[in-house]
Every structure is written in C-alpha cells, then in structure tokens.
Structure 1
C-alpha cells in the first residue's frame, strides 16, 4: 500500500498508475481507517483529501485513454460495499494547510518524493521528472 507522491502521478508507468487507482478505491471504501504504515497519514485528514488525490489519478488515467467507473467521480461514493459519505463525514479541504498550494497532503514533500523515487528504483523503474510525461 502506498500513495505515490502527487507530482509522480503523470510519470508513473501503467502498472503503478492503475495500481494507484485500485489503492484509492480500496481506501475510499472498506479500507478507510484501516491502518498501514505507508498510508496512516491519510486518515488524519478528511476523506475529501483522498477524493481529491484520487481525482488526480483518474484525470491522468483519462489522459492516457484508460476508463474507470464514473461512479468514482462522485465525492460521496465509497464503492458497492459501503454506504456513501454524508456531508459531515466528508469534511472539507483546508487550502490553507502548509504545503496545500503544491500538494493535497502536506506529507507529500521533498523527503517523501525522494522516498517514492527510491522505492520505484528498487522496482527497476527509473523516472526522469525532467522528461515528458508517460503517454
């Protein structure tokens, strides 16, 4: 389980991008609140933050010609196994949070970016963020 640093989304290979979509779906559904060391920070924030992150993933999927169930574009949707969020549960995005001008999650800073790049490199994936995005 991992949410890749947000700036990596346009550069992720197909397998990691589609895996990220599955991870977001799982976290938005029955996985919400179920701890795992690499995603525990997500649960400190409103589920709306995860929705915004997931939207970035789905936008990149759409840019590459991949399709996903349109129900996931509904911020209240949590999958077929869960009841939708209520307005109170969803909360709001605090755009004045430190780092929010660049990323949704403040934890997605340079150290986390370096960690993600290292993790990908260990998988044999070398990303050059100076090159064009993955088609």
Structure 2
C-alpha cells in the first residue's frame, strides 16, 4: 500500500493510478494501517481529501470512469471546510519524491506493460528538474 507523491500523480502508469483509487477506498472503508501510509493519520482529513481530489482529477483527465463515490462521501461527510493546500507537506517532500521515483523507475525497467516510454521520460525530466533546483538534490 502506498500513496504516491502528490506531484507524481500525473506521471503514474494506468495500473498505479487505478490502484491509488482502490487504496484510497480501502482507507475510506477501514482506515487501513500500513507502514507506508500510517503518516496520513498525523494530518487532518483535509490533506487526504485534497489528495483524493487530485487522484480523481487525474483519473477524469485520462477518461477513467469512477463507479462509486459512496465510501469517499461517507468518510468525508463531516468535513466542514477544505483548505486546498499541498497535502502531506512534511512527508511528500523531495526525499519521498526520490523514493517514489525509484520505485516507478524499477517498474519501467522491469517492463511494466502500461508504462509508456514517453510517460517515463516525462517523469524523469520532472523529477530531475525538481531535484536539481532543490537544496536537497539527489543524496
């Protein structure tokens, strides 16, 4: 279980993006605990809501159909106002960007069928541009 770095959603292959929606629905239904996502419970539901909206936006942009928002709506039903901030800002940092990038790089190298070369190249350009302009850079 993983919530991909928010800035990488537009570079995810179809399989990872659709899995992201399934994982979010699992969180909505059971408030799953997993070592790779436990950090989300340190934040307000605002962050998860904004993240979820970004996943939905990317899915719609690609023409993917969402059959039901039932679990999402129930999970967020008491959320009063939403501040549209960068979600999980202390965890979705440059280090996590690198972690997600290398995970996706391995999927591409190993031949994931739905990971097109153009999308992978765009991912590489984006990540390299972000990291070369950051203080952290590649470590």
> Residue 27 of structure 1 aligns with which residue?
27
Which consecutive unaligned segments of at least 5 residues does structure 1 have? Answer: 79-84
The normalised TM-score by structure 2 is 0.69
Correspondence 1:122 to 2:106: yes
- Separation in 2 of the partners of 1:91 and 1:11? 31
Mapped contact 1:48–1:75 kept (Cα < 8 A): no
Root-mean-square deviation (Å): 2.5
Corresponding position of 1:50: 48
Deviates more, 1:118-127 or 1:105-114: 118-127
Using structure 1 for the length normalisation, give the TM-score: 0.71
Structure 1 residues 23-80: Cα deviation after superposition (integer angstroms, max 9, x where no partner): 11111211x1x321100101112223212111101111101111103525x96424xx
> Partners of 1:76 and 1:12 in 2: how far apart?
25
Aligned positions of 1:75-94 closer than 5 A: 76-78=73-75, 85=76, 87=78, 90=79
1:59 is the counterpart of 2:42: no
Give 1:8 shift.
Answer: 0.6
Number of positions where the alignment pairs a residue of Structure 1 with one of Structure 2: 114
In terms of mean alpha carbon deviation, does 7-16 or 47-56 score higher?
Answer: 47-56
Is residue 104 from structure 1 mapped to residue 87 from structure 2 by the alignment?
yes
